[in-house]
A and B are shown apart, each in its own frame.
Chain A
Amino acid sequence: MLVGFPLLSLVIWLPIIFGLIVLAIGSDRNPLLARWLSLVGSIIGFIVALPLYMRFDPTLSTMQFVEKYVWFERLNVHYHVGIDGISMPLILLNCFITPLIVIAGWEVIRERISQYLGAFLIMSGIVNGVFASLDAVLFYTFWEASLIPMFIIIGVWGGPNRVYAAIKFFLYTLLGSLLMLIALIYLYHVSGGSFSILDYHQLPLAMTPQILIFVAFLLAFAVKVPMWPVHTWLPDAHVEAPTGGSVVLAAILLKLGGYGFLRFSLPIAPDASLYLADLMILLSLVAVVYIGLVALMQQDMKKLIAYSSVSHMGFVTLGFFLLNDLGIEGAMVQMISHGFISGAMFLCVGVLYDRLHSRQIADYGGVINKMPIFAAFFMLFAMANSGLPGTSGFVGEFMVIMGTIQVNFWYAFFAAMTLILGASYTLWMYKRVIFGAVANANVEALEDISKREFMLLAILALAVLWLGVYPLPLTEIMQATIGNLLEHMTISKL
């Protein structure tokens, strides 16, 4: 391939262009064309992202595949993209999930299909843009733009309370990001007129501004992750969103927050990060333990998985603020693995919901008698969600707990409680839904999964197992970058 080929731009813009074409098909008269076109588009989107992995040099800690052009001179803003070991796996995850979303919505979505699929494709490109941006304005543009398709997806194809959930989702996220915008503009002035994120990394800052900047970023990313106590939008959004929306939300959009911590908070305000690390760990542990308990009490399957997401993402923020390489690498593995597992869990609930139109645990029971293949898949993902060794869920959690032990035994003690809590809420739900005698006539009428659903779940099952058994390719990619980040953080900016 040509040197200097704008590969990264292709990865960002190709799904967006496909999305616009699908949107342009417009009406519901030709749903098959819209479906096939989006499938082809999303698969091409994944294929063009593969060279990012193959031609990535894991020994370098600098940005790769960099492209930089002037965007608008007046404020010295550049179209500046590039990836390192942190963003590359996330981009791949996103490109991997998108075709699955298209397949998941294949027969289920019947109204305004082209708008639905178009929105997902456009969002996929936008999210790639967030992960690849090295210019603050470009980053912010993509960051906020990602709200628009999700807002529409929840609001148009969502459940009965969708309007409330969609607006809550939008405003909550906007609340966080606006303060981040102020912080970014502040940095622009302090750095003497630069919007380059890499320049911000080198910028010396006094303690007070660092703490204020940290807090501004924290609000933006904490809402997105979401951390306790700003997590309340997530269960609402998950419950109301259509299956595809829930999958993207859990698998991809939550990762934006985690990514933000690594790209902004830690390197831009290292001293404040150190200073506030204990507070952050505390918030994360509350999320892990308390939200785990909340999940135990849920009657609605989607809500349960949503709370389990918050709890698992608590592990991610916990890992980041341990500020050692085991912690951060573990958190990164946890993010990728959570992308697979939560996506798969929501798809499983979607499979049940498409048949019975209920998400209440009480409406099910004895599903295994009617859907044995489905039950097997669901079992695997439930085990992965509770962190069974051999699945991807174990690797990240284990690494983070190991990292925590290095810092403080009691932190590790509470963090390890997730293994009990996670197993309790996931397996208890599994037991109530799947095992036992056939609960009612509706369950009696269930049919096992179709080929389409089988394929979806099989792909995810492979990913979960592969990452659980052999996570080395993933950790290898990010080692240099994370090592560099930690080294950067040891140098005080004061």
Chain B
Amino acid sequence: MDFLPPDFTPAYPEIFLLVMVCVVMLVDLIVGEKRRYFAFFLAQFALIGCAVLTFTTFSSNSNHTFSGMFVDDALSDILKLMVYATVAVVLIYSRIYIGVRGMFKGEFFSLALFATLGMMVMISASHFMTLYLGLELLSLSLYAMVALQRDSTAATEAAMKFFVLGALASGFLLYGMSMVYGATGTLHTTKLAEIIQSGSIDHAVLIIGLVFIVAGIAFKLYAAPFHMWAPDVYQGAPTAVTLFVGSAPNLAGFAFVMRLLVDGLGELVTDWQGMLVILAVASMVIGNLVAIVQTNIKRMLAYSTISHMGFVLLGFIAAGENGYSSSLFYVVAYVLMTLGAFGIIMMLSREGFESENISDLKGLNQRNPWLALIMMFLMLSMAGIPPMIGFYAKLAVLQAVLGVGYIWLAVVAVMLSLIGAFYYLRIIKFMYFDAPETDMPILSGLDIKVLISINGLAVIMLGIFPQTLMGLSLYAIQQ
């Protein structure tokens, strides 16, 4: 039999990124201490290159390759472009923060790019194994990034927790996948749907497998009651890494759920809907209630993330184009808000000083009114107050949920977001109503200032004009 090489075209961005990661590592070895910024620029170049490749290979039909294990469709292209943008912003925001902490090294950038590669593979997976490979590549890179600050005990502890629980979750996931394989004989997402539809398989095994898979997903999406690791990792990791962990992987997480549950196990929608309802409600309850008592802002934002993920799951519960696209819109809005919030926290940190407590924001309006205004936009957006983007994201999800008749779920969701509004307001209170405790000037680069301004304005402008992003989300799902 002749060996036919697979069609590499759909995977060009991944291949390019892999090559670039190796280049970054090698270059960093060669250049001296003073030229470390080489790695930074190379990483940015790699992301831009990927974006160009993804953009040029953009097509609205899906191209399968590698024996159908890898897919390049509109959803994957749009998500990947968003991932590149997010990672690029994360690297710029982190530049000074990691610089003064001795982490401005090739390792940081190559790990970040490896994680990006993992996300891309997840996004493009059309086979459970590909999905798992991508997930592990992402997770292992993240574990290492969390532990990058070796002399910090908090970071090491966070990394250990992250690793142990992450490995457990992966175990769950693999176990679930093996059961699905046992029941159906395939792991191709497209074929799975057909086989389940034919009705000739053992439903009981399949459902048990589904339970494990959903548990695995819940771990990765910070959904309660599998959320325990998130607050510790958010708090323990250096803020730059927290920003990375909390932003781009959520886009991949969305793809993860889409590929596993919707594409692969879409026939079992009624079964996993029930499970997601429990996860979503638990996440919103725990996330919002526990966030109230936090004094550490990173920990508070971790719980806030948990509650936001509850909202994302609501979109999946609503199912259908309407539900999935509103989930995607919510994830994008969430990533935008997280980027800004952690970006500002990093700007407030200095050499030898970590801005970690909510009280560090005291009197920010007097120290820097513009920064305070942006932070207020971000917090109001997280609380879901119009005209910020967070409101329209909640509106989209709620209308999808109500559209399928879950009135009680929508009522629970809004009541819990009312509770949530309290701790976001508290941050505004610290910034505006209290006097500053320090008059240290806020030092940062021009690029960071410009970017954070764009970030803050995007939160309000995309709220006032949400059509583009909403339309894009719908387009990505429809194809």
Number of B residues whose C-beta is below 8 Å from A?
Answer: 34
Distance between Cα atoms of A175 and B422 in the complex (Å)? 11
Q: Does B387 contact A (CB under 8 A)?
A: yes
Query: Chain A, 227-243, contact with B by CB distance < 8 Å: what is the 0/1 string?
Result: 00000000000000000
Segment among A145-153, A299-307, A447-455, A469-477 that sits at the interface with chain B: A145-153
Segment among B241-249, B412-420, B441-449 that sits at the interface with chain A: B412-420
When A72-B467, A74-B470, A75-B470 are in contact, do A181 and B433 touch as well, CB less than 8 Å?
no
- Contact between A185 and B422 (Cβ–Cβ < 8 Å)? no
Query: Chain B, 397-417, contact with A by CB distance < 8 Å: what is the 0/1 string?
Result: 011001100010011001101
Please give me the 7 A-B residue pairs with the lowest Cβ-Cβ distance, nearest first.
A72-B467, A141-B386, A74-B470, A178-B414, A155-B433, A185-B399, A185-B402
Distance between Cα atoms of A163 and B391 in the complex (Å)? 24
- Contact between A182 and B467 (Cβ–Cβ < 8 Å)? no
**Closest-CB distance, B326 to chain A (whole angstroms):** 9
- Contact between B422 and A178 (Cβ–Cβ < 8 Å)? no
Which of A145, A185, A186 neighbours the largest number of chain B CB atoms within 10 Å of its CB?
A: A185
When A170-B421, A182-B410, A185-B410 are in contact, do A145 and B386 touch as well, CB less than 8 Å?
yes
- Contact between B414 and A181 (Cβ–Cβ < 8 Å)? yes
Q: Does B334 contact A (CB under 8 A)?
A: no
Query: Chain A, 146-176, contact with B by CB distance < 8 Å: what is the 0/1 string?
Result: 0110011001100000110011001100110
Distance between Cα atoms of A356 and B387 in the complex (Å)? 40
Query: Chain B, 450-479, contact with A by CB distance < 8 Å: what is the 0/1 string?
Result: 000000000000000111001100100000
Residues of B within 8 A of A174 (CB): 385, 418, 421
Number of A residues whose C-beta is below 8 Å from B?
Answer: 35
**Closest-CB distance, A188 to chain B (whole angstroms):** 6
**Closest-CB distance, A142 to chain B (whole angstroms):** 8
- Of A115, A166, A178, A189, the residue contacting B417 (CB under 8 A) is A178
Q: Does B208 contact A (CB under 8 A)?
A: no
Q: Does A26 contact B (CB under 8 A)?
A: yes
Q: Does A409 contact B (CB under 8 A)?
A: no
- Contact between B432 and A171 (Cβ–Cβ < 8 Å)? no
Q: Does A71 contact B (CB under 8 A)?
A: yes
**Closest-CB distance, A153 to chain B (whole angstroms):** 10
Q: Which chain B residue shows the least CB distance to A70?
A: B467
Residues of A within 8 A of B471 (CB): 73-74
**Closest-CB distance, A287 to chain B (whole angstroms):** 24
- Contact between B399 and A170 (Cβ–Cβ < 8 Å)? no
- Contact between A163 and B429 (Cβ–Cβ < 8 Å)? yes
- Contact between B395 and A166 (Cβ–Cβ < 8 Å)? no
Q: Does B425 contact A (CB under 8 A)?
A: yes
Q: Does A179 contact B (CB under 8 A)?
A: yes
A–B pairs, 25, beta carbons within 8 Å: A71-B467, A72-B470, A75-B396, A112-B365, A115-B369, A145-B386, A145-B387, A148-B385, A155-B429, A156-B365, A163-B433, A166-B433, A167-B422, A167-B425, A170-B425, A171-B421, A171-B425, A178-B417, A179-B411, A179-B414, A182-B402, A185-B395, A185-B402, A185-B410, A189-B399
Q: Does B380 contact A (CB under 8 A)?
A: yes
- Of A74, A75, A155, A185, the residue contacting B432 (CB under 8 A) is A155
- Of B369, B391, B398, the residue contacting A185 (CB under 8 A) is B398
Residues of B within 8 A of A166 (CB): 429, 433
Which of B411, B426, B433, B470 neighbours the largest number of chain A CB atoms within 10 Å of its CB?
A: B433
**Closest-CB distance, B452 to chain A (whole angstroms):** 18
Distance between Cα atoms of A171 and B424 in the complex (Å)? 11
Residues of B within 8 A of A163 (CB): 429, 433
- Of A112, A147, A148, A186, the residue contacting B407 (CB under 8 A) is A186
Q: Does A49 contact B (CB under 8 A)?
A: no
- Of B403, B407, B465, B470, the residue contacting A182 (CB under 8 A) is B407
Distance between Cα atoms of A480 and B396 in the complex (Å)? 37
**Closest-CB distance, A398 to chain B (whole angstroms):** 40
Query: Chain A, 79-122, contact with B by CB distance < 8 Å: what is the 0/1 string?
Result: 00000000000000000000000000000000010010000000
Q: Does A137 contact B (CB under 8 A)?
A: yes
- Contact between B402 and A178 (Cβ–Cβ < 8 Å)? no
Q: Does A67 contact B (CB under 8 A)?
A: no
When A141-B391, A178-B418 are in contact, do A167 and B411 touch as well, CB less than 8 Å?
no
Residues of B within 8 A of A26 (CB): 369
- Contact between B418 and A175 (Cβ–Cβ < 8 Å)? yes
Q: Does A144 contact B (CB under 8 A)?
A: yes
Q: Which chain B residue shows the least CB distance to A180?
A: B414
Q: Does A140 contact B (CB under 8 A)?
A: yes
- Of A73, A144, A179, A185, the residue contacting B386 (CB under 8 A) is A144
Q: Which chain B residue shows the least CB distance to A181?
A: B414
Residues of B within 8 A of A71 (CB): 467
Residues of A within 8 A of B391 (CB): 141, 144
Distance between Cα atoms of A174 and B474 in the complex (Å)? 29
Which of A137, A151, A178 neighbours the largest number of chain B CB atoms within 10 Å of its CB?
A: A178
Distance between Cα atoms of A74 and B402 in the complex (Å)? 16
Q: Which chain A residue shows the least CB distance to B380?
A: A148
Residues of A within 8 A of B395 (CB): 75, 137, 181, 185
- Contact between B422 and A171 (Cβ–Cβ < 8 Å)? yes
When A141-B386, A163-B433 are in contact, do A151 and B425 touch as well, CB less than 8 Å?
yes
- Contact between A152 and B414 (Cβ–Cβ < 8 Å)? no
Residues of A within 8 A of B432 (CB): 152, 155-156
Q: Which chain B residue shows the least CB distance to A154?
A: B433
**Closest-CB distance, A21 to chain B (whole angstroms):** 15
Residues of B within 8 A of A140 (CB): 386
Distance between Cα atoms of A178 and B421 in the complex (Å)? 11
**Closest-CB distance, B81 to chain A (whole angstroms):** 20
